[in-house]
Amino acid sequence: MKLISVVLSGGAGTRLWPASRQAYPKPFMKLGGSALLEQAITRGQACGTDDLLIVTNQDHLFLTQGLLSDMADPPRVRYLLEPKGRNTAPAIALAALDCQAAHGDDAVMLVLPADHLIPDTEAFVANALEAVRQAQKGRLVVFGIQPTSPETGFGYIEVAKLGRDVQPVLKFVEKPDLATAQEYLATGRFYWNSGMFCFTAGAMLAALAQHAPDVLQAAGKALAQSTSQAMSLPDEPNPPHVTRFHAHSFGLQPDISIDYAVMERADNVTLVPARFGWSDVGAWPAVAQAHTPDASGNTLGAADGADWVAVNTTGTHVHVDSHCHKVVATVGVQDLVVVDTPDALLVTTKREAQNVKRVVDALKERHINSPHHQSTLLPPAVHRPWGTYATLKEEDGYKVKRITVKPGQSLSLQYHHQRAEHWMLVHGRGIVQIGDTEHPTLPGQYHYIPLKEKHRLTNTGPDELVLIEVQCGDYLGEDDIVRLADTYGRS
Amino acid sequence: MKLISVVLSGGAGTRLWPASRQAYPKPFMKLGGSALLEQAITRGQACGTDDLLIVTNQDHLFLTQGLLSDMADPPRVRYLLEPKGRNTAPAIALAALDCQAAHGDDAVMLVLPADHLIPDTEAFVANALEAVRQAQKGRLVVFGIQPTSPETGFGYIEVAKLGRDVQPVLKFVEKPDLATAQEYLATGRFYWNSGMFCFTAGAMLAALAQHAPDVLQAAGKALAQSTSQAMSLPDEPNPPHVTRFHAHSFGLQPDISIDYAVMERADNVTLVPARFGWSDVGAWPAVAQAHTPDASGNTLGAADGADWVAVNTTGTHVHVDSHCHKVVATVGVQDLVVVDTPDALLVTTKREAQNVKRVVDALKERHINSPHHQSTLLPPAVHRPWGTYATLKEEDGYKVKRITVKPGQSLSLQYHHQRAEHWMLVHGRGIVQIGDTEHPTLPGQYHYIPLKEKHRLTNTGPDELVLIEVQCGDYLGEDDIVRLADTYGRS
């Protein structure tokens, strides 16, 4: 038997704004020392999985691959790259077809959303292996979470009685209103639907064929028109296998959840009650709960360099982005959440933190053509396959950027129509190509890139390379770039 | 008769932290479009004053002079520069001696603290001229504010009965506790002491001689050891007259208030009831009150580029420093004050805003040797006689600064032992001197300043010059500067 970890990595980055963004959603947020996505992968590895399949948006490939290559034991990955966000039924159908093709009908799929927090891996593994045994009997297994409050943000699963044992599912129900949720809680017969599943590829494909043939058929067509290849990345000992879809055939797949398409209808669904602590980190209060509070119930989620002075402050969570080096002071406040990033600041109560989504909506509407709109889209530091860049200052006529390049990586060979660039290397070592000449460069050294001159930056040292770039010109948009050659297939 | 505006410009910058700092206290805060100090000067000018005397800390000379030279009608100023903060009795004694020497005993002094907000200048002028008439009769005049609440932050003045007319003062009392303040308010016989006064130099000196001879004597000694000169500043049509004190003799002056030294004891004190709106802008709620609220009672104190999304937010004041270009979002909060600057963020309730002082105390204690300490001392942009600088990024081995130079101004001719500098001019035009060569420089042009090479930057254009500087070296402290020549007498 092969055990496959199927990690669903997505999200709109709205409920944990401004720390999460559309281009940097929840799976990439660090909580408890590592990104939630990394934790999901590690959790699967701990179960002894033989292969890792990540279903994610194509825009997140390099960010994901960068995160994986920084792991102590970087796994080999198969990617299914979605051209746009789709629901869980298409994602799981595609994953099941992929697993069947690669490992046969008996391959057991352990489906893990990439944005859950499960601190106790050992407890999870014991539970997961129980689910695997059920899956091998042909069951469709769902992990149920014993409810602690009448949450309206989860689907619910009805069984005969809450307990510690595996039992058949009586009914799946959608996200309830508050009154219904309270009713469910009172009966002692309802679990929260965790969104974690386990089944063989064959069982899932049979269930899809029976209950949602349109989903299965559309997934088959999308896969038939996809292209698959092992990616060649420089200095990558474990090149990932990547499947890309055509936007059209991919988009023809129905936008429905696996709960609705299959779980509500199938009669072979089994529930494994979770015997581990679990959070879907749905809003800022859940982030606060993942931190150890001080004597006043305050929690600090911050990188080094953050410094918090709390006067008459209780139950408050402060999150300072690693790119903000500043003092945060709170005076006379209770149960607040304060999140500071270089381009956006959020102050909310824990009680109303779920309304942060409305801020993102308002910003999208208000600023569709403004630079502030990007605070809903882009993270303060933009991740690229070769490293990162962050804008330090932008005014009429110039822009100052801090650029980092990973060891062994290169920016594309490129030129700009409307801007000249001053480059100062301040950390690491590299080669700056200008025109056809390559200049070995050390910290403190400077290069001038004239308008329309081709140029390229490569890190040739063992450490991260850091460059300060001052762009001068009338137009400084990111789209003024002509790529002549690119290691990452973007030219 | 000569009328002299005596502006007392000081403050520790603690209660409006982090917008105000020790090096950038309340008088420099803009409120209603201009700095409070500028408003105090304009208010005096509107009364037809013949001369302007500013008593301020010597560290604030260039900042003050820069503010004045940006005024539409820059006044000619006499400065009394205090080596350290002293109380109001020494300041007024020195000012009275200075006025007597310059204009004789009959000169009328209108004493105005530089950090008050009085929106209606016309009403103020009518009141002030009434005070001047009383002063000419030899009275010591204090402006009383009719109390609206039992404030514990003000001294109180007892009269026979609150009213619209000038009347003799019965008693000065110090800042009361809350119960006493409530009692005062109930009697209808107490005014707040505004700290604004009016008297002739002769009357004040006579009162000092009678009630506080030690203060008068110490002030005389401090003046005897002071040095006075007209400052020569480039392109300054109205060079200020500056009196500097010796730290020792200045420090021998008693640290007491004019209220305690004179007003409580003299029997010729007259109260002029203020018939104008007044605030001493003592804490953030007072700043909020100076802004026009929206329908939800929210107020925004911000430069251009600030953008606030308020969801379920009422009675909240948001202040965004002009160097922060960011979105601020508040969700589900009431009666908060949020103040964001590049290096410090404050979140407090209006109710507890007076405790912000405790944050500054805590920071001073905690960070006496840390870079964060400077958030209590230095403003985000540091003001120099020639312009400003702000640090955009600082990491091991390098620092990126944005430097502005005013038209006609020059940095000192200087060199550094431990750092080389890359200079990129991005706005305006100037001359860069490196060694003995002068290079005319336009936007987009670059210069390299090697270690130990003398260099100087001068703005030769009509607009502000903006330069991006990247410093490289092992030590990048502001103290690694050897000044060879300086327009401002600092070499």
Write the secondary structure of chain A as one string of H (helix), E (strand) and C (coil).
Answer: CCEEEEEEECCCCCCCCCCCECCECHHHCEECCEEHHHHHHHHHHHCCCCEEEEEEEHHHHHHHHHHHHCCCCCCCEEEEEECCCCCHHHHHHHHHHHHHHHHCCCCEEEEEECCCECCCHHHHHHHHHHHHHHHHCCCEEEEEECCCCCCCCCCEEECCCCCCCCEECCEEECCCCHHHHHHHHHHCCEEEEEEEEEEEHHHHHHHHHHHCHHHHHHHHHHHHCCEEEECCCCCCCCCCEEEECCHHHHHCCCCCCHHHHHHCCCCCEEEEECCCCCECCCCHHHHHHCCCCCCCCCEEEECCCCEEEEECCECCEEEECCCCCCEEEEECCECEEEEECCCEEEEEECCCHHHHHHHHHHHHHHCCCCHHHHHHHCCCCEEECCEEEEEEEEECCEEEEEEEECCCCECCEEECCCEEEEEEEEECCEEEEECCEEEEECCCCEEEECCCCCEEEEECCCCCEEEEEEEEECCCCCCCCEEEECCCCCC
Q: Are A52 and A3 a contacting pair, CB within 8 Å?
A: no
Q: Are B482 and B417 a contacting pair, CB within 8 Å?
A: yes
- Percent with pLDDT over 70 in chain B: 94
Q: Do residues B135 and B109 share a domain?
A: yes
Q: Do residues B246 and B152 share a domain?
A: yes
Q: Which of A373, A426, A448 to mutate to test the interface with B (most CBs of B within 10 A)?
A: A426
| pLDDT winner (highest mean) among A14-18, A160-164, B217-221, B393-397 | B217-221
In terms of residue numbers, what domain contains B134?
Answer: 3-273
Q: Where are the beta strands (DSSP E) in B232-291?
A: 241-244, 269-273
Which one has a higher pLDDT value, A237 or B433? Answer: B433
**B468 reaches A (C-beta below 8 A):** yes
Cβ contact B352–A332 (<8 Å): yes
Reading phi first (left if > 0) and then psi (alpha if -120 to 50, else beta), residue B202 is in alpha
**A356 reaches B (C-beta below 8 A):** yes
For residue B481, which of B452, B448, B438 has the smallest C-alpha distance?
Answer: B452
Q: Is residue A154 over pLDDT 70?
A: yes
Question: CB contacts < 8 Å between A and B, how many?
Answer: 206
Which residue of B355, B398, B466 is in closest CB contact with A331? Answer: B355
- With beta carbons under 8 A apart, name residues in chain A contacting B307: 367, 372
Q: Do residues B228 and B288 share a domain?
A: no
pLDDT at res. B33: 83
Separation between Cα atoms, residue B8 and residue B24, nearest integer Å? 15
CA neighbours closer than 13 Å in the CB half-sphere of residue A477: 7
How far apart are the CA of A16 and the nearest CA of chain B, in angstroms? 13
- With beta carbons under 8 A apart, name residues in chain A contacting B469: none
Cβ contact A333–B338 (<8 Å): no
Lowest-pLDDT choice from A186-200, A350-364, B90-104, B201-215: A350-364
- What band does A360 get if pLDDT is binned at 50, 70 and 90? confident
Q: Radius of gyration over alpha carbons of chain B, in Å?
A: 24
Cβ contact B359–A309 (<8 Å): yes
| Average pLDDT score over residue span A6-32 | 88
Q: Do residues B218 and B338 share a domain?
A: no
| Average pLDDT score over residue span A465-487 | 86
Is B362 a member of any domain?
A: no
- What band does B237 get if pLDDT is binned at 50, 70 and 90? low
pLDDT at res. B394: 82
**What CATH number corresponds to the domain at position A79?**
3.90.550.10
Q: Do residues B216 and B320 share a domain?
A: no
- With beta carbons under 8 A apart, name residues in chain A contacting B359: 309, 311, 329, 331
**A365 reaches B (C-beta below 8 A):** no
Question: In the numeric block, which tokens belong to residue B276?
Answer: 């104008």
Q: Are A196 and A143 a contacting pair, CB within 8 Å?
A: yes
For residue B258, CA distances in Å to A71, A84, B91 come to 68, 72, 9
| Average pLDDT score over residue span A27-53 | 93
Which residue of A363, A400, A466 is in closest CB contact with B392? Answer: A400
Is B491 a member of any domain?
A: no
- What band does A392 get if pLDDT is binned at 50, 70 and 90? confident
- With beta carbons under 8 A apart, name residues in chain B contacting A398: 424, 426-427, 443, 468
How far apart are the CA of B355 and the nearest CA of chain A, in angstroms? 7
Question: In the numeric block, which tokens belong to residue A445?
Answer: 């050294």
Among B245, B273, B301, identify where a domain stops: B273
Lowest-pLDDT choice from A62-66, A119-123, A381-385, A403-407: A381-385
How far apart are the CA of A456 and the nearest CA of chain B, in angstroms? 20
Q: Which of residues 396-425 of A touch B (CB under 8 A)?
A: 396-398, 400, 402, 420, 422, 424
| Average pLDDT score over residue span B289-305 | 85
Using CA atoms of B222, B224, B227, B230 in order, give the dihedral in degrees to the nearest 10: 110
Residue A16, C-beta contacts closer than 8 angstroms, at least 6 positions apart: A26, A29, A281, A283, A284, A287, A356
Average pLDDT, chain B: 90
Is A286 a member of any domain?
A: no
Which residue of B332, B402, B427 is in closest CB contact with A355? Answer: B332
Q: Do residues B176 and B294 share a domain?
A: no
Lowest-pLDDT choice from A257-271, B70-84, B199-213, B354-368: B354-368
**What CATH number corresponds to the domain at position B439?**
2.60.120.10
Q: Which of residues 298-337 of B touch A (CB under 8 A)?
A: 307, 309, 311-312, 325-333, 336
Separation between Cα atoms, residue B135 and residue B129, nearest integer Å? 10
Which residue of A351, A427, A470 is in closest CB contact with B397? Answer: A427
Reading phi first (left if > 0) and then psi (alpha if -120 to 50, else beta), residue B149 is in beta
For residue A407, CA distances in Å to A149, A230, A234, A402, A488 come to 48, 22, 10, 16, 15
Q: What 3-state DSSP class applies to B449? A: strand
Q: Are B260 and B207 a contacting pair, CB within 8 Å?
A: no
Q: Do residues A103 and A29 share a domain?
A: yes
How far apart are the CA of B203 and the nearest CA of chain A, in angstroms? 45
Q: Is omega for the bond preceding A168 within 30 degrees of 0, making it cis?
A: no
B287-295's contacts with Cβ under 8 Å and 24+ in sequence apart are B287/B16, B287/B29, B287/B31, B287/B317, B287/B319, B288/B317, B288/B337, B288/B350, B290/B31, B290/B32, B290/B117, B290/B119, B291/B317
pLDDT at res. A59: 86
CA neighbours closer than 13 Å in the CB half-sphere of residue B51: 19
Is A366 a member of any domain?
A: no
Cβ contact B336–A331 (<8 Å): no
Question: In the numeric block, which tokens belong to residue A483?
Answer: 């790529």
How far apart are the CA of B23 and the nearest CA of chain A, in angstroms? 17
- Buried b / exposed e over B186-201, threshold 16 CB at 10 Å, is eeebbbbbbbbbbbbb
How far apart are the CA of B426 and the nearest CA of chain A, in angstroms? 6
pLDDT at res. A374: 61
Is B365 a member of any domain?
A: no
**B442 reaches A (C-beta below 8 A):** no
Lowest-pLDDT choice from A374-383, A458-467, B4-13, B377-386: A374-383
Q: Do residues A80 and A200 share a domain?
A: yes
Give phi and psi for B422, each to the nearest 5. -100, 130
Q: Give chain B's domain count.
A: 3
pLDDT at res. B12: 76
- With beta carbons under 8 A apart, name residues in chain B contacting A353: 331-332
Q: List B109's β-bridge partners, or say none.
A: B4, B199
Q: What 3-state DSSP class applies to B105? A: coil
pLDDT at res. B370: 52
Q: Do residues B225 and B121 share a domain?
A: yes
Q: Are A207 and A213 a contacting pair, CB within 8 Å?
A: no
Widest Cα–Cα separation across chain A = 75
Separation between Cα atoms, residue A90 and residue A108, nearest integer Å? 18
Is B370 a member of any domain?
A: no
For residue A426, which of A448, A406, A445 has the smallest C-alpha distance?
Answer: A445
Instruction: Give the chain B residue nearest A307 (alpha carbons).
Output: B372
- With beta carbons under 8 A apart, name residues in chain A contacting B355: 311-312, 331-332
Q: Which uninterrupted H or E stretch holds B479?
A: none
Q: Is residue B322 over pLDDT 90?
A: no
- What's CA A33's distance to the chain center, in Å? 15
Q: Are A326 and B345 a contacting pair, CB within 8 Å?
A: yes
Q: Is residue A80 over pLDDT 90?
A: yes
- With beta carbons under 8 A apart, name residues in chain A contacting B333: 336, 347-349, 352
How far apart are the CA of A462 and the nearest CA of chain B, in angstroms? 17
Q: Do residues B342 and B413 share a domain?
A: no
Q: Is residue B173 over pLDDT 80?
A: yes
**B443 reaches A (C-beta below 8 A):** yes
Question: B357-390, pLDDT tens digit by residue?
Answer: 999 888 887 765 454 456 666 666 777 778 888 8
Cβ contact B443–A398 (<8 Å): yes
How far apart are the CA of A328 and the nearest CA of chain B, in angstroms? 5
| Average pLDDT score over residue span A232-253 | 84
Cβ contact A329–B309 (<8 Å): no
pLDDT at res. B464: 94
Separation between Cα atoms, residue B287 and residue B290, nearest integer Å? 5
- With beta carbons under 8 A apart, name residues in chain B contacting A446: 422, 446, 448
Q: Are B472 and B422 a contacting pair, CB within 8 Å?
A: yes
Query: Which residue type occupies A300?
Result: L
pLDDT at res. A1: 85
Instruction: Give the chain A residue nearest B398 (alpha carbons).
Output: A426
For residue A320, CA distances in Å to A28, A329, A389, A433, A441 come to 16, 12, 19, 37, 34
Cβ contact B472–A355 (<8 Å): no
Q: Is residue B128 over pLDDT 90?
A: yes
Is B374 a member of any domain?
A: no
Which residue of B331, B351, B448 is in closest CB contact with A332? Answer: B351
Question: In the numeric block, which tokens belong to residue B367?
Answer: 């960070």
- Percent with pLDDT over 70 in chain A: 94
Q: Do residues A7 and A102 share a domain?
A: yes
Average pLDDT, chain A: 90
- Buried b / exposed e over B91-107, threshold 16 CB at 10 Å, is bbbbbbbbbbeebeeeb
Q: Is residue B8 over pLDDT 80?
A: yes
Q: Do residues B98 and B170 share a domain?
A: yes
Q: Which of A330, A345, A475 to mutate to test the interface with B (most CBs of B within 10 A)?
A: A345
pLDDT at res. B458: 95
How far apart are the CA of A412 and the nearest CA of chain B, in angstroms? 24
Is B410 a member of any domain?
A: yes
Q: Which uninterrupted H or E stretch holds B363?
A: helix B356-366
Instruction: Give the chain A residue nearest B326 (alpha carbons).
Output: A343
Q: Are B121 and B115 a contacting pair, CB within 8 Å?
A: no
Cβ contact B345–A336 (<8 Å): no
For residue A253, which of A280, A214, A284 has the smallest C-alpha distance?
Answer: A214
Question: A415-447, pLDDT tens digit by residue?
Answer: 999 999 999 999 999 999 999 999 999 999 999
Which residue of A331, A355, A402 is in closest CB contact with B312? Answer: A355
Give phi and psi for B144, each to the nearest 5. -100, 140
Instruction: Give the chain A residue nearest B345 (alpha carbons).
Output: A328
pLDDT at res. B329: 94
**B381 reaches A (C-beta below 8 A):** no
